[in-house]
A and B are shown apart, each in its own frame.
Chain A
Amino acid sequence: MSEQNDRNDQPENRLRRELPAEVPVPAAGPAAEEQPQQPLTGRQRLVKGLWPPRFTRAQLIVALLLFGLGFGLAVQVASNSDTDSALRGARQEDLVRILDELDSRTQRLEDEKQGLEKQRSELQTSSDQAAEARKQTAEKERQLGILAGTVAAQGPGITMTIEDTKGTVEADMLLDAIQELRAAGAEAIQVNGVRVVAGTYFTDSGKSVSVDGNKINAPYRFKVIGKPQDLEPALNIPGGVVQTLEKEQATVNVERSDKIVVDALRQAKRPDYARSSSR
């Protein structure tokens, strides 16, 4: 286009107007025969320019420039069509905006993450607490089970064997023995395979004795868990259980032991009317 402007007949372009005028003079030299005959049309000039190829300085310079143009064009197109560099052609303010958006999104996600982590730790704490409560409940159940006779128990204690060859031992004597043992701190007692619990009762049945309706025969073997140093003296005190029984011609044998196993069990009975009032 600038070539066109150079041809304008503007007064201030007088000097430059002369410059192109110099060009046709050498150009007219070789083409002197053709131009007077008839001026070439644009199409003829195009064809003539394309073929045959001429290695003139002008052609080479133009080729060099066009090489640069083609190179730049291809490079730009290639770099623009790279899928991974969508941000490449973006302007600075666009990049700043995108960065801001990313920042706020990061902030949002961070907040969400913190909330979720808090929730998780809360859940974990509560599940820990629940596990702790379960553990305590199980522990309490075991303790109460020993009292209620629903679980087996073992520990230090004594074994008391009452040989009753004459059949003179009666239910109230055994009950006295139980009371004495309880008073001395017995924690778990069984008599001939029957667990003694809070509601245990003794009845006479002929020559022998029934515990909770189960008939037991002599010899009566008491397995008692408790502090042996307390239990044995409690039985042997003057006028106590042992002396009373021996007065009735029964022989009583008390042995301390480090390991007494009370393994007679009771079924846990659900009370019909009484309900726990503790919450």
Chain B
Amino acid sequence: MIAVLGLVVGVVAGLLVRPEVPAVVEPYLPIAVVAALDAVFGGLRAMLDGIFDDKVFVVSFLSNVVVAALIVFLGDKLGVGAQLSTGVVVVLGIRIFSNAAAIRRHVFRA
């Protein structure tokens, strides 16, 4: 419950404050958000499976974000930033979908 509240408060704060995204972070933010979403779905699935562990969640969340940003950074340096970030989004999207399928089976038993 606290976690859901945290998400809601974060969204509200982001909408209210509307901070200027620093130029350095700008290319990485979207990918980082998608990576974090992937971690959250994984955590939700683990919770439904009864094997949720906050330490694992924290590590996977942070490492997902960092690795995603790193891949985009590397891609930009190699000149294939657009393609590489597309690839990252595709991979994370697949994982999100499979996790969502598992969550759906738990919640709706279907």
A residues touching B (Cβ–Cβ < 8 Å)? 1-4, 6-7, 20, 23, 39-43, 45-46, 49-55, 57-79, 88, 91
Known: A4-B42, A74-B14. A65 touches B21 (CB 8 A): no
A–B complex contacts, Cβ < 8 Å, 17 sampled: A1-B38, A2-B42, A2-B63, A3-B43, A3-B52, A46-B48, A50-B1, A65-B6, A69-B7, A69-B36, A71-B10, A71-B14, A73-B14, A74-B14, A75-B18, A76-B33, A77-B14
CB-CB under 8 A for A1 and B48, given A70-B14, A75-B21, A78-B15: no
Instruction: For B21, give the chain A residue with the smallest CB separation.
Output: A79
Smallest CB-CB A-B distances: 4 pairs: A74-B14, A70-B10, A42-B106, A63-B6
**Do the beta carbons of B14 and A53 come within 8 Å of each other?**
no
Is B87 among interface residues, defined by CB-CB distance under 8 A? no
**Shortest beta-carbon distance, B4 to chain A, in Å?**
7
A58: chain B residues within 8 A (beta carbon): 54
Q: Can you name the residue of chain B whose Cβ is closest to the Cβ of A31? A: B50
B residues near A, CB below 8 A? 1-15, 18-19, 21, 26, 29-30, 32-33, 36-43, 45-64, 81-82, 95, 99, 103, 105-107, 109
Contacting pair B33 A72 (CB below 8 A): yes
Contact A45 to B47, CB < 8 A, known contacts A1-B60, A75-B18: yes
User: For residue A91, which residues in chain B have a CB less than 8 angstroms away from its CB?
Assistant: 81-82
Q: Are A75 and B14 in contact (CB under 8 A)?
A: yes
Question: In the complex, what residues of B have CB within 8 A of residue A70's CB?
Answer: 6-14
User: Is B2's CB under 8 angstroms from A54's CB?
Assistant: yes
Given contact pairs A42-B105, A45-B50, A70-B13, a sample of 11 additional A-B residue pairs in the complex whose CB atoms are under 8 Å apart? A2-B64, A3-B42, A40-B50, A43-B106, A46-B47, A53-B1, A63-B3, A66-B6, A72-B36, A75-B21, A91-B82
Q: Known A20-B53, A41-B106; judge A66-B18 contact (CB<8 A).
A: no
Within 8 Å CB of A61, what residues of B? 54, 58
CA distance A51 to B62 in the complex (A): 27
A68-B10, A68-B36, A74-B10 known; A49 and B47 CB under 8 Å? yes
Which residue on chain A has the smallest CB distance to residue B48?
Answer: A42
Residue of A nearest to B99 (CB): A1
Is there an interface contact between B56 and A6, defined as CB atoms closer than 8 Å? yes
Q: Are A67 and B53 in contact (CB under 8 A)?
A: no
Task: Decide: A65 and B61 in contact? CB cutoff 8 A.
Answer: yes
Q: With a CB–CB cut-off of 8 A, which chain B residues contact A57?
A: 54
List residues of chain A with CB within 8 A of the CB of B8: 70
Q: Is the CB of B1 within 8 A of A66?
A: no
The answer on a CB contact under 8 Å between A60 and B53 is no
* B46 A62 Cβ-Cβ under 8 A: no
Set A40, A52, A65, A76: member contacting B29, Cβ < 8 A: A76
- In the docked arrangement, what's the CA distance between A64 and B57, Å? 12
Contact A69 B37 (CB under 8 A): yes
Closest B residue by C-beta to A73 = B33
Q: Within the complex, what minimum Cβ distance (angstroms) separates A210 from chain B?
A: 104
In the complex, chain A residues whose CB is within 8 Å of the CB of B3: 59, 62-63, 66
Contact A2 B13 (CB under 8 A): no
Question: How far is it, in angstroms, between the C-alpha of A69 and the C-alpha of B82 when the chains are bound?
Answer: 23
